[in-house]
Amino acid sequence: MLRSLLVALDGSDSSISAGRMAIGLAKRLNADIEALGIVNSAWINRPEPLPVGGAALRAESNARRLDEAGKRVRSVLNTFRGQAERAGITSLKARAVEGDPLALLQDEVAVHDVLVLGRNSLFDAEADMYLFPVAVERMIRQSPRPILLVPDSETGEGLPLGPVLVAFDGSTASSRSLHLFALLGMANDQPIHVLSLDNDSEENANRLAQQGCMLLKKHGAQHCTPIGLGNHQAGTASETILGTARTVGARLIVMGAYGHSGIREIFGSCTRDVLKACPVSLFLHH
């Protein structure tokens, strides 16, 4: 069962949506929340070539940017605390931190069950370096815990109690993601569709989908439907996932991240395409 989650806040629309998601999920599953308001001082203070006499101006500019970022983060944290208190969250920590966001999150998430992250959170870095999916991709690859990735458009509070699509191909990455999703209690009380794709064998695709449903049912999922597609019934893996999600009205997609290409890890190879195009929240683990 999910006991503790970490949410990253930087004031972007994505992080605000992630904060709402974290509060609702913690309320639903009676979990603790820790919120980190992140000032990317590592980026602001990064070394770069300067003209003669430019060091003093650069130092002044950096100090101003750090102060502005700090004020924004403190304001975001105050708003988040108020939202959490109104939602009845009793176990809450919220603090501002400075440094490299990826290093900070990788370290802090080790004592939590899930990291809730806005898919377009920039952490003050300029778009040409850290625009999605670069920073998010690095975090997914490096995080020791699953990530709940929230889009800007998520307006509700908490994990939507609507259809869930699980992309399951029997690979290590997809098995881990499915198992953690079930163990954390996030699969209960909502309809779940388990999608498996094997263009060489529809029979094998159906078998894998049924296996995924069996595991979920053992952990309390009461409404689970297998979907096995084979014999080139669909397009690429990413097209199949996104198209099926639209068909079933999925509010959340669960999938493994960054598997190796091959028959048994077909979903892992399409992670980036799904990250770019997915309009709903994603539960990801590598």
Block mean pLDDT (10 aa), the chain, length 286? 93 87 91 94 82 81 89 93 93 93 90 92 54 64 88 65 88 89 88 90 92 93 91 79 94 80 47 83 90
For residues 146 and 172, membership in a common domain is answered with no
Q: Where does residue 57 rank: exposed (0-12), middle (13-18), buried (19+ CB within 10 A)?
A: exposed
- Residue after which a domain boundary falls, among 150, 175, 204: 150
Are 101 and 13 in the same domain?
yes
Residue listed under structure tokens 């096995």: 228
Listed residues 150, 181, 199: the one ending a domain: 150
**In the prediction, which pLDDT does 263 show?**
36
How far apart CA 217 and CA 134 sit, in angstroms, is 36
| Structural domain that includes position 23 | 4-49+57-150
**201 burial via Cβ count (<10 Å: 0-12, 13-18, 19+):** middle
CATH no. for residue 134?
3.40.50.620
How many CB atoms within 10 Å of residue 100? 16
Residue 90 exposed, middle or buried by CB count within 10 Å (0-12, 13-18, 19+) = exposed
Look at residues 150, 182, 199 and tell me which one is the last residue of a structural domain.
Answer: 150
- Spatial strand order in the sheet of 4-9: 92-98, 32-39, 4-9, 114-118, 147-150, 281-285, 252-256, 164-167, 192-198, 224-230
Which candidate, 158, 157, 147, places its Cα nearest to that of 114?
Answer: 147
Q: Note whether 171 and 145 are same-domain residues.
A: no
Q: Provide the pLDDT for residue 115.
A: 95
Residues 34 and 171 in one domain: no
Is residue 34 within 8 A of residue 9, CB to CB? The reply is no
Q: Is residue 78 one of the residues assigned to a domain?
A: yes
On whether both 136 and 187 belong to a single domain, the answer is no
Q: 66 and 93 in one domain?
A: yes
CA angle 256, 133, 142 (to 5 degrees): 55
Would you state the pLDDT for residue 124?
Answer: 56
The pLDDT of residue 146 is: 93
Rounded Cα distance between 169 and 285, Å, is 14
Place of tokens 């080790």: 110
Q: What is the DSSP letter of 236?
A: S
Residues 126 and 168 in one domain: no
Residue partners of 31: CB distance under 8 A and separation at least 6: 2, 3, 4, 5, 25, 91, 113
